[in-house]
Chains A and B, each alone.
Chain A
Amino acid sequence: MLRLLSIEIQKIKLNKAAKVITAVYFLLIIAIALIASIEFNFAQVNFRIADQGFFNFPFIWHFNTYVAGILKLFLAIIIVSMMSNEYSYRTLKQNLIDGMSKKEFITSKFLTVLMFAAISTVFVFLVSLILGFFFSDHTELAVVFRDMEYLLAYFIKLVGFFSFCLFLGIFVKRSAFALGFLVIWQIIEGIIYGVLKWQLFKGTEIAEKIINFFPLESMADLIKEPVTRLGGVQTLANQVGEEFNKDYNVQWYTILIVLIWTTIFIYGSYAILKRRDL
């Protein structure tokens, strides 16, 4: 395990592009703090984000994991290229000849995925904790550490997403095409949803239920958008005659769906690698 991880760490650590992107990624997570300084006027009401309760415990866990979740695309580039580089440098072949088994190869990549997801989760935890102590109205420990399931959901979301990227990297072999495929897949899910919603199951909730089983949609479902949950936003919505009625909690079945997809992607990667002549 450690041997495999240290091999992968060396491959990434010495790669300049990977280092820069990782640095930018973590800087951007820190930059979430800048959201606090946003101020704007809306319908004669002065909005200062920091005062709207975005950074209140325990809501901050929801908000920050959601925003940091958007940034995962940066790390996805590294995951995809670490896989496709092995093809273009033909080092995958060389690694196998040098005595790595195909299973070990996939394991080492999956360990890297887990490592990135874990580091990112810890990082988001620390940034949120510090931000929360700065801006939150409540800092009693019982409140601070409530709703921690959002961090678990965030970790699962990253592992699932990166596993998908890993699979695409192995399947497509070229990083640009793999990332393109990711975008296309998002569109495909959108089209399938559209067809289900407005053609097959018009006027029912079935489309929503089916689409929840798709990989990208289930990952997005893990952490729902937090903005409409805020008191201020809800009051505002009520004034214009809108009402939000949503369950913002992390659902166990969504976690299960994403974990199943993760398993499919990793075993799928292994199956492809096993069958392929290099």
Chain B
Amino acid sequence: MSTILEIKNLTKKFGKLVAVNDLSFSIEKGNVYGILGPNGSGKSTTLGIVLNVVNKTAGDFAWFGGNTSTHNALKKVGAIIESPNFYPYMTAKQNLELVCKIKGVPVTQVQKALKTVDLLERQNDKFKGFSLGMKQRLAIASALLNDPEILILDEPTNGLDPQGIHQIREIIKKIASEGTTILLASHLLDEVEKVCSHVVILRKGKSLYVGSVDGMNASFGFVTMECADMEALKKVLEADTNFGVIKTEGEKIVAYLTKEIDAASLNKLLFEKGITLSHLVKRKESLEEQFLELTKNTTNPTLN
């Protein structure tokens, strides 16, 4: 697999504030990456650096193996950051034609891109009259003009209404299904969980985890159980090496697994020891729980 972007020990300081701190990760072709982190964790700054608009303080990054200059590499990248930025006095079509000239792609791409985001009918309307959802869709169209090797999206659904969010997510899913590499920065966990195969978790500019979503937590999930004799159950669980931490949460017992074991064999095992469960749920931790576990954020993170 070829590497699209490699970031090595990247650091950015704004005065005393360290926005990005010794960050390293790489992006391989064909995967869908999520950059997760609470607001102000350095997501946008990191993207700004690799997109040539923020100067790095230290470290390095290389696009496509480092053989091309950053601005030429960006012609093969599609990126939308924060709010959609276009010339308000131009129509949707004119704005996209301008981007074509900058990226050096034929203007015939415009119609195709407008179709993907369902804006064909509004192409001759001025950008300033667009709703936020339409502006965001136009931004995606603009990012798709060059059939990019990688699509970078920074908070693409920020500030949109539920319908707009749904539209954007459908478009992202469609693009991902066509095999385009995607890098999605977000603080919305379910958004990342739904589309990403890999995650980079940031907090205060440091990466806490880089890898696949599945491999994020080494644990094998946990089971929630309830029965008539809770004391006996607890004793059995504590004696069994299949379980690690055992907690009592209200009426139920939560036990974290140390080995892969399915719910049926677990039930059978306990039944053989004379315990009849009235409640048994086996579950993997959600991305949200894993994220909170990793970031251990004392302040209240924005989670939807």
Contact surface of A with B, Cβ cutoff 8 Å: 3, 6-7, 10-11, 14-16, 89-91, 93-102, 104, 274-275, 277-278
Contact = CB atoms under 8 A, between A and B. Distances in A.
B44 to A, nearest CB: 11
B102 A14 contact: no
Interface of B: 14, 48, 51-55, 69-72, 74-75, 77, 79, 81, 83, 85-90, 94, 97-99, 101-104, 142
A90 B85 CA distance: 6
Which secondary structure dominates chain A's binding surface? helix
Contacts of A275: 55
Contact of A3 (B14, B70, B90, B101): B101
A213 to B, nearest CB: 33
A277 B48 contact: yes
B54 A97 contact: no
A6 B101 contact: yes
B64 to A, nearest CB: 13
Given A10-B94, A100-B102, 4 more contacts: A14-B94, A91-B87, A94-B85, A278-B48
Contacts of A90: 83, 85
A9 to B, nearest CB: 10
A99 B98 contact: no
A121 B208 CA distance: 61
B88 A89 contact: yes
B73 to A, nearest CB: 8
Contacts of A278: 48, 53-54
A14 B87 CA distance: 10
A89 B128 CA distance: 11
A10 B74 CA distance: 22
B164 to A, nearest CB: 20
B127 to A, nearest CB: 9
A142 B178 CA distance: 71
Nearest to A100: B102
A91 B81 CA distance: 12
B52 A97 contact: yes
Contacts of A104: 71
